[in-house]
């Protein structure tokens, strides 16, 4: 167990773990909510029956990136929990799982921002380029 609560492991448990876990939980909630809302209101942003292929691809890319963000954030929570378990049960080697967790959180944030950018692009394509022209018969 934690022998020295003011040592590196104790400080990790007291500060780094708590902050990283709270950040990851909040970010997971935000990413999930944006994904759910974008799916629910996608027909308002991109009318799939008449939208251009590029708008559809951009919206699908946004969803893919948002799902990736949720997966990476959930995995980061697993790694930070692993680091806590290692710290509580006496291992001094908590650096690897903690660093992986931090990296996954950064990648999750990047995927989230990429998803938002892709959503904006799909909306701009739909707004400025209009519906696809009907096939010539």
List the domain boundaries for the chain.
Answer: 8-42+58-128
pTM of the predicted model, to two decimals?
Answer: 0.83
Identify which of 34, 41, 46, 43 has the alpha carbon closest to the alpha carbon of residue 127. Answer: 46
What's the CA dihedral at 34, 23, 112, 28 to 10 degrees? Answer: -40
Task: Give the pLDDT of the chain (137 residues) as one tens digit per residue.
Answer: 555 566 777 778 778 888 889 999 999 999 999 999 999 988 888 887 888 889 899 999 999 999 999 999 999 999 999 988 888 887 767 888 989 999 999 999 999 999 999 999 998 988 887 666 665 66
Q: In whole angstroms, give the CA distance from residue 131 to residue 83.
A: 51
């Amino acid at each position: 167990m934690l022998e020295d609560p003011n040592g590196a492991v104790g400080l990790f448990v007291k500060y780094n773990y708590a902050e990283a876990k709270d950040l990851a939980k909040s970010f997971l909630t935000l990413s999930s909510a944006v994904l759910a809302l974008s799916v629910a209101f996608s027909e308002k942003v991109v009318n799939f029956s008449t939208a251009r292929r590029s708008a559809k691809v951009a919206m699908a890319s946004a969803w893919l990136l948002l799902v990736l963000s949720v997966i990476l954030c959930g995995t980061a929570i697993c790694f930070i929990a692993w680091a806590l378990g290692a710290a509580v049960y006496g291992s001094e080697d908590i650096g690897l799982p903690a660093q992986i967790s931090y990296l996954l959180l950064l990648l999750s944030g990047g995927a989230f921002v990429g998803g938002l950018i892709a959503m904006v692009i799909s909306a701009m394509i739909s707004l400025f380029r209009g519906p696809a022209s009907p096939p010539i018969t």
